[in-house]
Structure 1
Amino acid sequence: MAIQPSRPLRLFAEYLRQERVNLTERWMKAVFNDTELTESDRLTYEQLSDHVPAILEEISSALEDQDLDQVEPSIECSAKQHGRLRWKQGYRIDELTRELDLLRQVLMGAIVGFAEGHPAFTRRHEERARHFIDEAISFVTLTSIREVVTERDRKIDEYTGRLERANHELLLKQKLVGELHESRMQITRSVVHDLRNFLNVFSMALQMIARAPARTEAALALANRQAADMKTLVDELVEYSIVLGDTNAPAVEAFDLRGLFDELVASCGPLVEAKGLRLVHRFDPPLGMITSNRLKLKQIALNLLTNAAKYTKAGEVELDMRTCGDAHWRLRVSDTGVGIGEQDQERVFREFERANQDDVPGAGLGLAIVRELCRVLHGDLRFASHEGEGTTFEITFPLDLAVGN
């Protein structure tokens, strides 16, 4: 509650205003000469003084009105800024407290100096002035310390968050390295297994020719079939290694998607029809020029169509291209083949994983290649399959891949 101020206190408040610069310099000199305040030596005049003149003005107003509550919001604002700045300048809490205590001492000295030159400024006035200055400096100190603690806690939370994110990323990378190692080991085991089988069967064919010349034709047929299977394995391995090894952004070009569609129909039609199947093909007329990597799109479509033909014994294979909204188009390949069991659907995109059809040629890399190429071309890959009913793959691509790169 405010009380009616006396004229001596008002005069002292005016004195503080007039001597604000001198008092600030006196305080800074005390700070510079204090051996406990090491951080202050690194600061310029402006950096050290910062909000002290404003705090002195607010203390003068409190003395003038004999009411600290009136200026408390402005003192609090200045004190927070002071604490925040000192935190950024590297002050410890004990240094901040020491610095403000020196300001208190300077102001107490100002009281003594003013009292000596003004007889009307009695001991009662001195006690009153000391009380307000003590209250104001204590409030500034407490507020500044709270701001330092807040900034410190915020920084700790920030560092903790960074550490947690870094740790999470490290765990993910460790998992990725582990999965990559297991994947490479799987490739090695699978290739060694297929090579051993190839050599065993090829050796059997040679032995058959040596022991039973009359069966030479059958032995050669067996050897040729085995050599063809090994060529398929090698071709898929080479294709997959090229896909994984290409870390550059895909080269894009504008081309007519209808031309690629017709090329796929012409190249895959004979393969599908040779198995007694029907190739159903549909193209959405509004779909025309797109910007993407033509060769990689062709690889995706060929792998899906080849897989569909391999695993379909009767019925049809469907190739469908159509628009999908204003910025995308969709590739759809479906078949009426053996389908993929629910228990196998999570592993079909892994290297050397195939449906349970041991008599189907191939290394099990086709869908792994498709998955990697879809990632490169920003394709959203989805599939649905039911065992004994067939499989449908749908991939949504951007019409302009250059926009997303």
Structure 2
Amino acid sequence: MATTQSRPLGAFAGYIRKNEVELTERWLKSVFSDAELTEADRLTNDQLSDHVPDILESICSALEQQDLEEVEPEIERKARLHGKMRWKQGYRIDELVRELDLFRQTLMGAVVQYAEAHPAFSRRYEERARYFIDESVSFVTLTSVREVVTERDRKIDEYTGRLERANHELLLKQKLVGELYESRMQITRSVVHDLRNFLNVFSMALQLVARAPAKTEAALALANRQAADMKVLVDELVEYSVVLGDTNQIAIESVDLHALFDELVASCGPTIREKGLELNASFDGQLESVQSNRLKLKQIAINLLTNAVKYTKAGKVTLDMRTRGNDAWCLRVSDTGVGIGDGDRDRVFREFERANDDDVPGAGLGLAIVKELCRMLDGELRFDSQRGVGTTFEIRFPLQLQPVQAPEF
């Protein structure tokens, strides 16, 4: 219940409510005529006065109760909305403060006008009304400014995060450009070296035919072997250039892994057996179709199988596909070949790295191709090897490959 002392202030609050439209229009006129408020000129009356009625109502409640703390939570909520709205409308902090100061002046003018028309509204009540108006508008101003600063800092953090991500992407691309340049130079050196060897051996074969016709068959065999080795080299170079140059988004499709497994066994089995090796093939019956890219999965498996055959002189090659938990599956290729020493583990996936075996054809790009394809298919690649015992490559793929999201800048 209002006390006797609060009744004059309550009557003044009623006066503000009754003249809300007139007071708002008076404030709008002062805002539009103020040269310092440039952003206000772009807004309509409704946009400018959006939260003013709510703030006026809170001030009236403070006057009636003569207790600002009671209405502070409500004023704070409305002031935060006002600050956020002004931030979105492009206000600077100084414009927000200036606008609310004009609002304060409008209400102070209403106090004078009401006191002149109501003699019972003594100077003591007038001072109390000024106090609550001044405290309320100051609280609104402080809260609104804090909200603007919060929104500004949030936006700065957002832009900073984007810039950091963009800078990180730029550094990665710069590094990639450097690596690609070195790769191209390495390709050039490797191709020139192998071409020179090819021409030397081919020249030797022709000289052998010319000098010793009886050895023509041996010379042709030597030339044919060298030509076959060059074909392997060129095929690897072409495959690697296609993989690196593929900038299109990966086409994700339903892949029948059992059908792919059977295809790999049928295509690689004869080559493995021709070398006198045993092929052990195992497929997990619980593994069905997955969402991935069939062609790239096949490329990975064939490169691993081809690599295993190259470096295995006796024993067996194993191909295995099976599930890994509820959201992944695993491709494993192992052999009983020469293996990889501890000192060579760090360079096994580098371009043009080969075992020290002159009988192994190719450019040493097979595992580099596998690594790049695994990156495209979100595959987790790892291997275990022991010199003279053999090597096992294992890749964990997701059952559901997710499309790559374009980065935001």
TM-score range, shorter chain: 0.7 to 0.9
Deviation of the 1:339 alpha carbon: 0.2
Partner Cα separation in structure 1 for residue 123 and residue 263 of structure 2: 105
Identical-residue share of aligned pairs (%):
74
Partner Cα separation in structure 1 for residue 390 and residue 177 of structure 2: 35
In structure 2, relative to structure 1, the CA distance for the partners of 1:130 and 1:325 (3 Å cut) is closer
Partner Cα separation in structure 1 for residue 262 and residue 63 of structure 2: 92
Partner Cα separation in structure 2 for residue 6 and residue 289 of structure 1: 78
**Alignment correspondent of 1:205:** 205
Cα deviation 1:159-217 (Å, max 9, x = unaligned): 11111111111111111222222222221221111111212222333344445656555
**Alignment correspondent of 1:225:** 225
**Alignment correspondent of 2:153:** 153
Q: Secondary structure at the residue paired with 1:193?
A: helix
Deviation of the 1:124 alpha carbon: 2.2
**Alignment correspondent of 1:7:** 7
Partner Cα separation in structure 2 for residue 87 and residue 306 of structure 1: 63
Cα deviation 1:366-399 (Å, max 9, x = unaligned): 2233334445555443321111110112334566
**Alignment correspondent of 1:351:** 351
In structure 2, relative to structure 1, the CA distance for the partners of 1:289 and 1:364 (3 Å cut) is same
In structure 2, relative to structure 1, the CA distance for the partners of 1:383 and 1:96 (3 Å cut) is same
- The range that moved more, 305-314 or 271-280, is 271-280
Q: Secondary structure at the residue paired with 1:174?
A: helix
1:52 aligns with 2:62: no
**Alignment correspondent of 1:361:** 361
In structure 2, relative to structure 1, the CA distance for the partners of 1:94 and 1:261 (3 Å cut) is closer
Q: Which amino acid aligns with 1:390?
A: G
Partner Cα separation in structure 1 for residue 361 and residue 21 of structure 2: 92
Residues 61-100 of structure 1: pairs in structure 2 closer than 5 A: 61-100=61-100
**Alignment correspondent of 2:277:** 277
In structure 2, relative to structure 1, the CA distance for the partners of 1:45 and 1:184 (3 Å cut) is same
Q: Which amino acid aligns with 1:105?
A: Q
Q: Which amino acid aligns with 2:385?
A: S
Cα deviation 1:56-91 (Å, max 9, x = unaligned): 222222222222222122122222221221111111
* Unmatched segments (≥5 aa) in structure 1: none
Deviation of the 1:149 alpha carbon: 1.6
- The range that moved more, 337-346 or 389-398, is 389-398
Q: Which amino acid aligns with 1:279?
A: L
* Residues 328 and 396, structure 2, Cα contact 8 Å, conserved in 1: yes
**Alignment correspondent of 1:195:** 195
Q: Which amino acid aligns with 1:21?
A: V
Q: What is the RMSD computed on CA atoms of the aligned residues?
A: 3.1
* Residues 3 and 66, structure 1, Cα contact 8 Å, conserved in 2: no
Q: Secondary structure at the residue paired with 2:102?
A: helix
**Alignment correspondent of 2:258:** 257
Q: Which amino acid aligns with 1:94?
A: D
* Residues 258 and 283, structure 2, Cα contact 8 Å, conserved in 1: no
**Alignment correspondent of 1:43:** 43
Q: Secondary structure at the residue paired with 1:121?
A: coil
In structure 2, relative to structure 1, the CA distance for the partners of 1:305 and 1:71 (3 Å cut) is closer
**Alignment correspondent of 1:143:** 143
Deviation of the 1:325 alpha carbon: 5.0
In structure 2, relative to structure 1, the CA distance for the partners of 1:41 and 1:381 (3 Å cut) is same
Deviation of the 1:254 alpha carbon: 6.0
* Residues 5 and 66, structure 1, Cα contact 8 Å, conserved in 2: no
Q: Which amino acid aligns with 1:79?
A: A
* Residues 330 and 395, structure 1, Cα contact 8 Å, conserved in 2: yes
Normalising to structure 1: TM-score of the pair?
Answer: 0.87
Partner Cα separation in structure 2 for residue 98 and residue 388 of structure 1: 82
Residues 156-195 of structure 1: pairs in structure 2 closer than 5 A: 156-195=156-195
**Alignment correspondent of 1:302:** 302
Q: Which amino acid aligns with 1:17?
A: R
Q: Which amino acid aligns with 1:89?
A: Q
Normalising to structure 2: TM-score of the pair?
Answer: 0.86
**Alignment correspondent of 1:116:** 116
Partner Cα separation in structure 2 for residue 9 and residue 267 of structure 1: 95
Q: Secondary structure at the residue paired with 1:206?
A: helix
Q: Which amino acid aligns with 1:134?
A: D
Count residues with an aligned counterpart.
Answer: 402
Partner Cα separation in structure 1 for residue 161 and residue 326 of structure 2: 40
* Residues 334 and 390, structure 1, Cα contact 8 Å, conserved in 2: yes
Partner Cα separation in structure 2 for residue 256 and residue 68 of structure 1: 71
Q: Which amino acid aligns with 1:143?
A: T
In structure 2, relative to structure 1, the CA distance for the partners of 1:268 and 1:105 (3 Å cut) is closer
In structure 2, relative to structure 1, the CA distance for the partners of 1:202 and 1:6 (3 Å cut) is closer
**Alignment correspondent of 2:407:** none
Partner Cα separation in structure 2 for residue 287 and residue 35 of structure 1: 73
Q: Secondary structure at the residue paired with 2:280?
A: strand
* Residues 250 and 403, structure 2, Cα contact 8 Å, conserved in 1: no
Cα deviation 1:256-291 (Å, max 9, x = unaligned): 736x55554455445444444333344455667777
Q: Secondary structure at the residue paired with 2:347?
A: coil
In structure 2, relative to structure 1, the CA distance for the partners of 1:370 and 1:278 (3 Å cut) is same
Partner Cα separation in structure 1 for residue 162 and residue 249 of structure 2: 30
- The range that moved more, 329-338 or 175-184, is 329-338
Cα deviation 1:82-101 (Å, max 9, x = unaligned): 12211111111221111111
* Unmatched segments (≥5 aa) in structure 2: 405-409
**Alignment correspondent of 1:370:** 370
Partner Cα separation in structure 2 for residue 61 and residue 264 of structure 1: 81
**Alignment correspondent of 1:25:** 25
- The range that moved more, 98-107 or 263-272, is 263-272
Q: Which amino acid aligns with 1:182?
A: E
**Alignment correspondent of 1:384:** 384
**Alignment correspondent of 1:238:** 238
Q: Secondary structure at the residue paired with 1:381?
A: strand
Q: Secondary structure at the residue paired with 1:5?
A: coil
